[in-house]
Structure 1
Amino acid sequence: MAARSSTKLYGFVSSKHVPVILTVFLLSLGATPCCRSLEADRTTRCVETERRALLAIKSDMYDPGDWFSSWTGRDCCTWRGVACDDNATGGHVTELNLRYPYADDQYGFSTKGASKVNPSLLQLKHLKRLDLSMNDFAGARIPKMIASLVHLKYLNLSNAGFGGSIPPQLGNLSSLRHLDLGGCSNKLRADDLEWLSRIPSLMYLDMYCLNLSEATNWLHQVNSIATLRVLCLGQASLPNVPPPFPPFNLTSISKIDLSAYHNLTSTMWRWLSNASSLEYLYLDSCLFNLDVEVVQVALAALSKLKELNLANNDITGEISAVVRNISRRLKHLDLSNNSLSGEIPPSMGDLLLLEHLDLEHNNIIGEIPRSVGNLTNLVKLYLTKNNISGEIPKNIGNLLSLQVLNLDRNQLTGQIPENIEKLQNLTELSLDDNSITGQIPATIGILYNLEILSMPSNYLTGEIPRSLGDLCKLIVLDLSYNDIVGEVTDLIDGLSNCSEGTPLNTMYMENNNLSGIIPPSLGQFSEMEDLDLSLNSLEGNITQAHFSNLTYLLYFDISFNSLNVILPNDWIPPFSASDISMGNCHFGTKFPAWIRTQTNLLGLHLSRAGLSGNVPAWFWDLSRGLINLNLSSNHLSGVLPPSAFLSSTQLTTLDLSNNSFQGPIPVSLADAIELQLLTLSNNHFNGNLPSSFCNMSKLEVLDLSNNNLSGNVPDCHTSFPASLESLHLNNNSFSGRFPSLLYCEELVLLDLGDNTFSGEIPTWIGEALLSLRVLRLRSNLFYGTIPASVSNLTSLQVLDLSSNNLFGRIPSSLGYLSAMRIIQNNSAPLNFFYSESVEIIAKGSSFEYTTVLSLVTSLDLSGNNLSGEIPKELTNLLGLRFLSLSNNHLTGRIPEKIGVMTQLESLDLSLNNFSGGIPSSLSSLHFLSHLNVSYNNLSGRIPTGSQFLTFNDPSIYVGNKDLCGLPLRECPSDAAIAEDEESDSDKLETVFLITSIIIGFVVGFWLSAGTLIIKHSIRIALFRWMDKICDWIYVHCAVKYAKLKSKLQGRPKN
């Protein structure tokens, strides 16, 4: 049926309509060019004049790439950055986006050339959107012709390098909805913003970082635009607005940025509190000094706030006052860098929508409240630099959305919670500078998104968890300054086996107790830039394999371990480092030739490396680019070439101490004008000190001690480095007058000992060098009296004027040296970037003090010609540890109050003319371990008991003929005293005997008498017995008498 119909139709067409069809076909042939032309016009929407204008605009735009590569062909509406309308008669260009496509970020740019605004822009009369942002118009003014584009609704000229005044003609753009002139790369200014009132429908206004300091009407003009939703005037140098303020008219405002507005007052706060529709408020870096209560009142009215930034101000008061009435819609809260105090209130946990919380650098105390565990939407938490204590809450594991947890520089204790493993989204965990103890959780490796793990300066113990090697996204790892033990092999091997390689570029593990070897797999860390394994107990060999793929290595420190560096002389490192520290490693005796390849080197530390011989000449050429160089404590020798430091204009520290260098100090050091630390001590340098040292205006430490230098110290007058803090010239052969240090007001340590300086000690020492803590002038030829002005040195802890030719009395004002009157407990070093060392003679020996130098207090005036008595004021130095006045001509008695100097450890008064006895109060000095009073005129008994029981060496008392008692001879009165004691003992016994007899008689008499008085029968019996006794005595006496008389009568007479 269908076939038949087709045949029938075909027959009909063929037979009946062939002439008609043929005619139509012939007509169509003639009409084809016209139809094609019409079709082409309908396809090409671009207006030719506007296409040509665009090409003219392109010709003045800088394009280092091929961004304009699509700007070909007739249809400009298809070009990149161009949009047209759909007009049937031809498409007009309505949008032109020429934003520089290669900008690095909002404020920075890659290198680019200048562009121009071509006048052909005026041909785009239908333009509604124009974006020229992020270009560089080289300070050109904003063309006034832009104001002729009256259809513009969107204009973005931000960060485009425009300069000069903002043309007020922009007020002609009455249809404008969006105006962005902001950006710090613009150098625009406006003295009057009246033209803004002529743009009544403006919704977005950005003048960030412009100069509006003369636009005193800014607030009134901005307030007149009722349609405004976004206002960005941050860093715009806004002038102060005196009250009264206009009635608040910004009823639609959603975002206000007034950051860095330094005239923000409480009145302005109250005015802003009328912005009931406000959702985003940025008032950071305004430096307003307001109490938190003023802020609290305003914030209570802003109930729709989602973001609040009050960072970098000086808000004082309790943080709880800010949180108390703050919007519960808040997602972003930044109160960092203020002066907020108190504890984080539990109500912080009520801000359930919070995603970003930054409270860093305040004075917050107390513990982190458990309620923080309620903030389950939290993404970033910063509590850095506060005084927060206690433990990390165990419910921190509830914050499953958390990506950044930064608790640096607080006083947190306890261990890292085990449930931290639940924070699977965590990318940064920073716990620096706390007091966290215990081990790193073994499950730390579950945090597979971790990019930054930083926990230095805590008390972490135990070994590095094996799972740490599973963190294949780790970029920064810092576990330095802890007590971690064990090996690093599993960590390094694990990270090197990551399937896509490890992105780790920073590893700080210094100052732990790590042991074992550094595995060669370290060489697989192809992204590594900073590596520090110093100050551990690592051992083994370092070979080429350790560096095989470290092509980006910049900072490398393995110093102070026990490592052997085994690298061939012809080795060429794959890296070009800026800082290499391999001190205390064993290199062998040859200077490493591969250092020659490090042409970008800024710092090199090869101390205690066993190097010997001459430093190769090529090295001194390389060193001209160095900032820090330390080759100390080797066996290097030879003469430094005169040109060694030519053009070393950026050299900051140079340490060649403890070697065998000889010859003169190179004059080329004068080129090192940036030098801050120079130590050439313990070498064999000779000759004079070059006068070029006067030009080192930034020098802070100069140590030339223990050399063979001679001559006068250059007289620099006022040009001697005023920045000098430490000067060691001791143990040389310098001569001449006291160096001209009058303007070195920062000087903390001055050691001129063991030279041949002469002349008087200048009085200006006590007037100009008020920061001195150590003054050591021993073993020179100084003469004259001790300047009384020395007592003005209130920070002085060590004063050594011994072995000179000083005479006169000891100034009583020395008893007012403040730092010696108190006990020094501050162990902070005298200099934070140099290990100071001072030799002190005490306890009969020489001691070199370094690490505990800041705790030492010493006064040594020995070996002079001082006379007179010891000033009683000297006993005010209650913090003094070492006192030596020996080998002078001092007289008088040793002060009895010397016993109050309870910190004394060493006292030497020998070789003087002291008289009288040794004060018994010395026996109460419990720290006194050395005493010498020999060769004086002391007399009397040596005190006994307590501390004197330890002073049993007779030599410390010798030369005092009238001293006696242990350990010397027995005192003459000792025997008499013994006899007196024995006589006194006999008398005592006699008195005791007589007293006993009397007491016995009295007691016996009254016992008998009492019995007789009380008992009548006994009394009668006693009396009868006594009568019988009397009768018996009488009879016997009478008989004896009669017999005797009879015999006498019967004797013959002569």
Structure 2
Amino acid sequence: MRKTFCAMLVLVAVLFFGAAEFCSGRNTSFSCIEKEREALLKFKLCFHDPSHMLSSWKGNDCCEWRGVGCDKNNRYVVSLQVRGSIFGNQRPQLYLIANVKEVGSSLLKLRYLEHLDLSNNNFNGNLISPSLGLMKQLRYLNLSDAQFRGRIPGELGNLTRLRVLDLSQSYYGGLKVDDDIQWIARLSSLQRLDMSGVNLSHASSNLFQVLGMLSSLSWLSLSDCSLKNSHLPSHNHLFNVTLLGNVQHFDMSQNSFHGPIPIFLQNMTSLTFLDISSVNLSLTSSNLFQVLGMLPSLSWLNLSSCSLKNHHLPSCNHPINFTLLGNIQYLDLSVNFFQGPIPIFLQNMTSLRVLYLFSNQLSGSIPDSIVQLSKLERMDLSGNQLSSVPDSIGQLSKLESMDLFGNQLSSVPDSIGQLSNIGQLSKLESMDLSRNQLSSVPDSIGQLSKLEGMYLSGNQLRSVPDSIGQLSKLENMDLSRNQLRSIPVSIGQLSKLENMDLSGNQLSSIPDSIRQLSKLEGMDLSGNQFGTGFPKWLQLPKTIKRIDFSNANISGHLPENIGHMMPMLVGLFLENNLMNGSVPKSLCNLKHLAVLALSNNMLSGTIPKSLCNSKSLKYLDLSNNRLSGSIPNCWRNDQSFLFIDLSSNNLSGLFPSTMVELSSLSVLHLNNNSLHRELHVVLKKFTSLMVLDLGENKFSGNLTSIVGGEIHNHSLRVLRLRKNLVSGYIPSELCSLSQMQILDLADNNLTGRIPSCFGKFPIMVNATQLIHDSSDEFWDHTPLMEVRKGIYLVYSWDRAPLMEVVKGRYLEYKRQPLRLEISIDLSSNNLIGSIPEELVFLKDLHNLNLSWNHFLGKIPEKIGQMENLESLDFSKNGLSGRIPNSMSSLTKLSYLNLSYNNLSGPIPTGYQLQTLEDPTMYVGNPQLCGAPLLKKCSNDTLPPTTTNFKDNDEGALKRMWFYIVMLLGFATGFWGVVGTLIFVKNWRYAYFQWVDDVQHWILVVITLKVAQFKKMFNGNQEY
């Protein structure tokens, strides 16, 4: 009875406490802690989440939310992973829109949080919140690439349980530490520390002594931290550094060390991974490998870009190096200055799996001893001057990748494919022999049964063996830029081939067997000579995604059903051919088509309306054809167009009003047609345009419509309205186009004056940012389209050509030159007034053309400040006065036209003007004189000998300082003497006594001399 009663009490207790547990909200079957759920929702409100990474953060149980991890027993949040993702040029997924302190306060409510990952997000350059130092349960903290900026708070040193700390900055680089770094030493449990990209230049000189106090540290990365020699421990301070003996992974690459290899490395005896790449070790003595040989566990070594030379390599006189380096499996000695044969000591490193020696100056043959590296899997010897490959190369049975690109090889040994013995290249997957001097390929190449990538471009091949069809696993084949006239039929047996590049050869046909390539996605046949008899190229597998037949001398019609024949097509390139007929409607209906490039052909007919149905097309180039009619007026804002070029056709009619609905459009070329419309319709809605070229049309209206719309708030860089019917004045609001670098309003009916604010266009004043555009926000506008596996095609705003009048003639700018061109052309209008003095501030302007207007007054006196000016045209105006002497300081000027004005006086001489010897650039100015004109100047009008404008300024400055110093010297000397005589009585008496004595001595000397001369004179008379 008693036992039954006790059992019932136990059961009641269990039920009671279970109910209490349930009511407390900690039951494992239901929801998380309510306070923590509210904290997470508060955290979510701090961010803009365009990619919906936190879209699952709703409902009662936060433990089920993406990135949230809870303890299984008490349901406390112990892990928070909201790591952003970056692919290509895409930006982080979360963008901070609140104060960073709000993020910290919400995280502090997660009292049991152990794992926090906020990496690859955008914290808008905010400081890391010091409140993170209060989260003392943390064991893992990752803030890498989160776009934090400023000082790393020392409060992080309170995280004594932290095992992993990642503050690395791979592309933003805004974090730094100050002189006090003792907080790092308090992280007593730290095992992994990554501060790559953090600015440690201000860290105290005891940096490595502090790091040496982290006894548990095994992984340390200080790459690209601006470290210098002063941060390295000296011989007198190596005590704590010996504690780094537990570190196994150490990366100190891309720093500013120079001189010998850091001596403390020899104490890090546990090292398995060491990266010292991109550090100047040129002053290291010849014992470099002896020091490294003292690291018995080292298996991964990177010494690339270290300015090493032959004397740094171990020689046969130091055999100890060979044995101690025998454990190394990865060795990178690329991008150095090694010369002569491949170093012989490598044959003793028998554990090597990866060997990189590319971009050196190695020559001669690859030695037969290479076969002793029997474990070698990857070998890159590209970018050297090697002349031959030994027959024994076939014995490297484990070799998976061989790169000999850019050498001087003339043949490939037959043994490369001999597989009769087990010791052959049976595992080779990638072989790159591009840019050599190969004239043939051995038949044995067909026996490389596992080859997936074969690259033989830029050689002298005239044929390919039939055995190539035996490469059953080949996926990528590059035979471009050779001398091939035919392709073997056996190519159709390459059942796994995905990408084939045969461009730049002499092919006139391709075998029908190519249609058997069931997995073919990308094919480049550009730069061949297919001619008129080439209709069979359309018979391709339906898997094809990218076709490039540009510059291939192809003629004939595009078949109307081409879209049905290649339904998976993503990119079609047929530029620079002789194609005629119309643009097939079926082509525009392809669901995946992103690139359609048909420029420079003879296509006729109208632009198909089916283009308006495409949601995938991003790049459209139909320029330089014979298309006629109007542009379809059916565009929609859900289309993806980024680039449209319809220039140089016979298009006419109204500009389609619906085209402004293309909100993502970055580049629009409609020049050299007969289109018309009021500008306010054209420009009222474009918000993403970077290039707008409407030149050589019949557009009318005035420029106020530009500043009346939204376009001025964004990124317009090129505005070309040349040769239209634009009228009215140039509004000063045009200066709000802050990214402007090419402004061409020539040959219109503009009136009024040039606004003085034209001297403030930021890029024209300072073009430094153009050089760094590849890493700036500008490239966010660059479309990236994947058109075949592993290959990206980049079409930037400057890919299409742009016609500009420079140096008196039309020049076509393409791609990179256009991106760096900076120009203003206002010629052939009815502009009046004087040339604004403010234009001289545009020191990075390359081309300035104000010809054929009605400008009066003088040429700006300080025009010499426009130091990058290459072309200057002020002709056909009413300018008067003298040519400023400063013009001779325009050292880059190669074209000058000042003809037909009212200029007078001498032509300045000196520097660049003396190289411009064509007198026609001054014709029509009867009052001008001096070379190169035949009219000589009179003496009173001779031009002063001019020097560089900057030199004149510097000379004037030097003269000013000379006079100042001279006056100061005179004043100091004068008052140093006179002041002393006035205020010191004894000195004054002594001075006047000295003067009186000197005077008396002079009088005595003169009297004696006079008496002596008289006596001599009288004596001569008596004689």
- Name the residue aligned to 1:424: 373
Counterpart of 2:795, as a letter, is F
- Name the residue aligned to 2:903: 938
Contact 1:911–1:936 under 8 Å retained in 2: yes
Q: Provide the C-alpha distance between the structure 2 equivalents of 1:967 and 1:341, rounded to a whole number of angstroms.
A: 55
Residue 477, structure 1, aligned to residue 424, structure 2: no
Query: Using a 3 Å threshold, how does the CA distance of structure 1 residues 896 and 580 change in structure 2: closer, same or farther?
Result: same
Deviations 1:542-568 (CA, angstroms, capped at 9, x unpaired)? 244351532222110111233332546
Q: Provide the C-alpha distance between the structure 2 equivalents of 1:577 and 1:976, rounded to a whole number of angstroms.
A: 77
Residue 586, structure 1, aligned to residue 536, structure 2: no
Residue 507, structure 1, aligned to residue 454, structure 2: yes
Number of corresponding residues: 734
| Alpha-carbon offset, residue 833 of structure 1 | 3.3
Residue 859, structure 1, aligned to residue 824, structure 2: yes
Q: Provide the C-alpha distance between the structure 1 equivalents of 2:678 and 2:520, rounded to a whole number of angstroms.
A: 47
2:443 to 476, 482, 493: 493
Contact 1:720–1:741 under 8 Å retained in 2: no
Residue 876, structure 1, aligned to residue 841, structure 2: yes
1:670 to 591, 609, 612: 612
Counterpart of 2:619, as a letter, is L
Q: Provide the C-alpha distance between the structure 2 equivalents of 1:296 and 1:373, rounded to a whole number of angstroms.
A: 33
- Name the residue aligned to 2:871: 906
Q: Provide the C-alpha distance between the structure 2 equivalents of 1:308 and 1:485, rounded to a whole number of angstroms.
A: 43
- Secondary structure at 1:621's aligned position in 2? helix
| Alpha-carbon offset, residue 935 of structure 1 | 2.0
Deviations 1:937-989 (CA, angstroms, capped at 9, x unpaired)? 22233445655555554543333343345555636958999xxxxxxxxxxxx
TM (norm. structure 2) is: 0.60
Counterpart of 1:556, as a letter, is M
Q: Provide the C-alpha distance between the structure 2 equivalents of 1:694 and 1:429, rounded to a whole number of angstroms.
A: 51
- Name the residue aligned to 2:477: 531
Residue 448, structure 1, aligned to residue 401, structure 2: no
Contact 1:737–1:759 under 8 Å retained in 2: yes
Query: Using a 3 Å threshold, how does the CA distance of structure 1 residues 506 and 387 change in structure 2: closer, same or farther?
Result: closer
Deviations 1:692-722 (CA, angstroms, capped at 9, x unpaired)? 4444643222211111223343445884232
Contact 1:400–1:423 under 8 Å retained in 2: yes
Residue 298, structure 1, aligned to residue 215, structure 2: yes
Identity of aligned pairs, percent? Answer: 30
Deviations 1:456-481 (CA, angstroms, capped at 9, x unpaired)? 8x75345355368356335343537x
Contact 2:356–2:380 under 8 Å retained in 1: yes
- Secondary structure at 2:862's aligned position in 1? helix
Q: Provide the C-alpha distance between the structure 2 equivalents of 1:192 and 1:321, rounded to a whole number of angstroms.
A: 49
Q: Provide the C-alpha distance between the structure 2 equivalents of 1:764 and 1:663, rounded to a whole number of angstroms.
A: 36
Counterpart of 2:558, as a letter, is V
Query: Using a 3 Å threshold, how does the CA distance of structure 1 residues 214 and 378 change in structure 2: closer, same or farther?
Result: farther
Deviations 1:661-713 (CA, angstroms, capped at 9, x unpaired)? 12222222234322221111111222333344444643222211111223343
| Alpha-carbon offset, residue 590 of structure 1 | 3.8
| Alpha-carbon offset, residue 735 of structure 1 | 1.6
Task: Note the 1:764-843 alignment, pairs <5 A.
Answer: 768=712, 770-822=714-766, 826=771, 832-833=794-795, 835-843=799-807
Q: Provide the C-alpha distance between the structure 1 equivalents of 2:280 and 2:247, rounded to a whole number of angstroms.
A: 20
Deviations 1:228-269 (CA, angstroms, capped at 9, x unpaired)? xxxxxxxxxxx9996589xxxxxxxxxxx9999999995235
Contact 2:365–2:386 under 8 Å retained in 1: no
Query: Using a 3 Å threshold, how does the CA distance of structure 1 residues 623 and 903 change in structure 2: closer, same or farther?
Result: same
Task: Note the 1:435-834 alignment, pairs <5 A.
Answer: 436=384, 438-439=386-387, 442=390, 445=393, 448-455=396-403, 460-463=407-410, 465-466=412-413, 469-470=416-417, 472-473=425-426, 475-479=428-432, 484-490=435-441, 492-496=442-446, 498=447, 501-510=448-457, 512-534=458-480, 536=481, 538-545=482-489, 547-567=491-511, 572-646=515-589, 648-695=590-637, 697-716=639-658, 719-722=661-664, 724-738=665-679, 747-761=689-703, 762-763=706-707, 768=712, 770-822=714-766, 826=771, 832-833=794-795
Query: Using a 3 Å threshold, how does the CA distance of structure 1 residues 681 and 187 change in structure 2: closer, same or farther?
Result: closer
Q: Provide the C-alpha distance between the structure 2 equivalents of 1:341 and 1:950, rounded to a whole number of angstroms.
A: 45
Question: Which sits farther off after the overlay, 671-680 or 311-320?
Answer: 311-320
Task: Note the 1:265-304 alignment, pairs <5 A.
Answer: 267-268=160-161, 297-299=214-216
Query: Using a 3 Å threshold, how does the CA distance of structure 1 residues 916 and 283 change in structure 2: closer, same or farther?
Result: closer
Query: Using a 3 Å threshold, how does the CA distance of structure 1 residues 778 and 340 change in structure 2: closer, same or farther?
Result: closer
Contact 1:421–1:447 under 8 Å retained in 2: no
Counterpart of 1:833, as a letter, is Y
Deviations 1:26-69 (CA, angstroms, capped at 9, x unpaired)? xxxxxxxxxxxxxxxxxxxxxxxxxxxxxxxxxxxxxxxxxxxx
Contact 1:539–1:564 under 8 Å retained in 2: no
Contact 1:807–1:867 under 8 Å retained in 2: yes
1:395 to 318, 326, 345: 345
Query: Using a 3 Å threshold, how does the CA distance of structure 1 residues 818 and 455 change in structure 2: closer, same or farther?
Result: farther
Counterpart of 1:522, as a letter, is I
Residue 378, structure 1, aligned to residue 327, structure 2: yes
Deviations 1:789-836 (CA, angstroms, capped at 9, x unpaired)? 444445433221111122221122222333334577949999743633
Q: Provide the C-alpha distance between the structure 1 equivalents of 2:887 and 2:67, rounded to a whole number of angstroms.
A: 77
Q: Provide the C-alpha distance between the structure 2 equivalents of 1:301 and 1:940, rounded to a whole number of angstroms.
A: 78
Contact 2:635–2:661 under 8 Å retained in 1: no
CA RMSD, aligned part only?
Answer: 5.6
Q: Provide the C-alpha distance between the structure 2 equivalents of 1:300 and 1:571, rounded to a whole number of angstroms.
A: 58
Counterpart of 1:466, as a letter, is P
- Secondary structure at 1:636's aligned position in 2? strand
- Secondary structure at 2:495's aligned position in 1? coil
Counterpart of 1:268, as a letter, is R
Contact 2:667–2:690 under 8 Å retained in 1: yes
| Alpha-carbon offset, residue 580 of structure 1 | 1.0
- Greater relative contact order, per chain length (Cα 8 Å cut-off, separation 6+): 2
Contact 1:857–1:882 under 8 Å retained in 2: yes
Query: Using a 3 Å threshold, how does the CA distance of structure 1 residues 448 and 852 change in structure 2: closer, same or farther?
Result: same
| Alpha-carbon offset, residue 516 of structure 1 | 3.7
Deviations 1:1004-1038 (CA, angstroms, capped at 9, x unpaired)? xxxxxxx9999999999xx9xxxxxxxxxxxxxxx
Q: Provide the C-alpha distance between the structure 1 equivalents of 2:141 and 2:493, rounded to a whole number of angstroms.
A: 46
| Alpha-carbon offset, residue 854 of structure 1 | 3.2
Contact 1:193–1:217 under 8 Å retained in 2: no
TM (norm. structure 1) is: 0.59
Q: Provide the C-alpha distance between the structure 1 equivalents of 2:1019 and 2:737, rounded to a whole number of angstroms.
A: 100
Q: Provide the C-alpha distance between the structure 2 equivalents of 1:659 and 1:504, rounded to a whole number of angstroms.
A: 39
Contact 1:469–1:493 under 8 Å retained in 2: no
- Secondary structure at 2:215's aligned position in 1? helix
Query: Using a 3 Å threshold, how does the CA distance of structure 1 residues 893 and 305 change in structure 2: closer, same or farther?
Result: closer
Q: Provide the C-alpha distance between the structure 2 equivalents of 1:952 and 1:365, rounded to a whole number of angstroms.
A: 47
